[in-house]
Amino acid sequence: MHIGLIGLGKMGFNMRQRLRDGGVTVTGFDRNPEKTDVASVDELISALPTPRVVWVMVPAGEITDALIRELSEKLSPGDLVIDGGNSRFTEDQKHAALLAEKGIRFADCGVSGGVWGLQNGYGLMVGGSAEDVESAMPVFDALRPEGPREDSFVHVGDVGAGHYAKMVHNGIEYGLMQAYAEGYELLAAKDIIKDVTGTFRAWQKGTVVRSWLLDLAVNALEEDPGLDKIAGWADDSGEGRWTVEEAIANAVPAPAITAALFARFVSRQEDSPAMKMVAALRNQFGGHAVKQAGTDAAQ
């Protein structure tokens, strides 16, 4: 199978390599000349066999909107566009309608795995028609971890369902990170605790709080035991807010996720040990920028 991949940033660059390692031919385009395979979107489209499959991996919002509009003018009926970024599910429905006017198919895919996906594979949540999802299954199979498909892949439902599931996934992630972060701050605050890093490490096997996020917390503490190099400032990329908005719209109580989102707002007002851990975890799993202690610059 041969696909086009637009957007070779932190996620897209590794995804291109994993797809190639999995036997999928990939032509990638990025504005960065050091990463791109072709000089333009037009060249990418010309390089693909028909019906084309184009995976979009660019920042959500205006950049994705502009790219979808461009593709709607340049692709052919029967081609398939997959948005693998973090678009809001309501935008998927707009994009699908725009492309459908030209006979172009659309699917949305929530992707989890961060900068570790090249090595470990990605968890995938897909929205779209059964026919469209099935036609791209070699791509999904190359991206996901080895093992039973149902352990890391789900066709959630119609267009928008994939990104809705990823939104909820990220909302849960907010709550989990906040719980680990508060536990870290409590341990660090108590004089009788002499080995905070070792305590986190001892939880990695056999305990009910073991998880990949806990493993990443240990990585962060081993690299910087007091998290002294990181400011207690944590951004939010949108999905947490959207999850809370959906909880309100559907009258679903979500106190843990909501509190975790608000805690990030607090982090922008004062330096917090808990927020140092949240920032460190975001950097560990997603390569997200962190602010260095004593500076205003994100790195």
Closest CA to 231 of 269, 285, 180: 269
Q: For position 166, what pLDDT does the model report?
A: 97
Residue identified by tokens 């602010």 is 291
User: On the CB side of 76, how many CA atoms lie within 13 Å of its CA?
Assistant: 8
Q: Residue 298: is its pLDDT beyond 70?
A: no
Q: For position 100, what pLDDT does the model report?
A: 98
> How large is the average pLDDT for residues 18-36?
97
291 is catalytic: no
Q: Lowest mean pLDDT: which of 149-158, 190-199, 256-265, 281-290?
A: 281-290
Q: For position 271, what pLDDT does the model report?
A: 64
Query: Where are the strands (E) in the chain, listed by range?
Result: 2-6, 25-29, 53-56, 80-83, 105-112, 123-127, 153-157
Please name the helix (run of DSSP H) or strand (run of DSSP E) that holds residue 242, with its range, or none. helix 239-249
Alpha-carbon gap, residue 87 to 127, rounded angstroms: 12
294 — pLDDT class (breaks 50, 70, 90): low
Q: Residue 292: is its pLDDT beyond 80?
A: no
The whole-chain average pLDDT of the chain stands at 93
Q: Residue 296: is its pLDDT beyond 70?
A: no
* Tens-place pLDDT, residues 211-269: 999 999 999 999 999 898 888 778 777 889 999 999 999 999 999 999 999 888 877 76
Catalytic residue (one of 62, 94, 150, 166): 166
* Tens-place pLDDT, residues 33-74: 999 999 999 999 999 999 999 999 999 999 999 999 999 999
Alpha-carbon gap, residue 117 to 285, rounded angstroms: 9
Q: For position 275, what pLDDT does the model report?
A: 76
Q: Residue 299: is its pLDDT beyond 60?
A: no
Catalytic residue (one of 131, 134, 146, 173): 173
DSSP 79: -
239 is catalytic: no
Q: Residue 297: is its pLDDT beyond 60?
A: no
- Supply the pTM of this predicted model: 0.86
Could you tell me if 100 and 127 are in contact, meaning their C-beta atoms sit under 8 angstroms apart? Answer: no
Give domain limits for the chain: 2-158, 167-268
Q: For position 233, what pLDDT does the model report?
A: 78
Q: Residue 19: is its pLDDT beyond 80?
A: yes
Q: For position 278, what pLDDT does the model report?
A: 84
Alpha-carbon gap, residue 169 to 14, rounded angstroms: 21
> How large is the average pLDDT for residues 84-112?
97
Edge-to-edge strand ranges of the sheet holding 80-83: 25-29, 2-6, 53-56, 80-83, 105-112, 123-127, 153-157
273 — pLDDT class (breaks 50, 70, 90): confident
167-268 folds as N-(1-d-carboxylethyl)-l-norvaline Dehydrogenase; domain 2 (1.10.1040)
Q: For position 163, what pLDDT does the model report?
A: 97
Closest CA to 53 of 143, 122, 118: 143
* Tens-place pLDDT, residues 159-214: 999 999 999 999 999 999 999 999 999 999 999 999 999 999 999 999 999 999 99
Bigger pLDDT: 289 vs 210: 210
CATH for 2-158 (3.90.190.10, 3.40.50.720, 2.20.25.90, 3.40.50.9100): 3.40.50.720
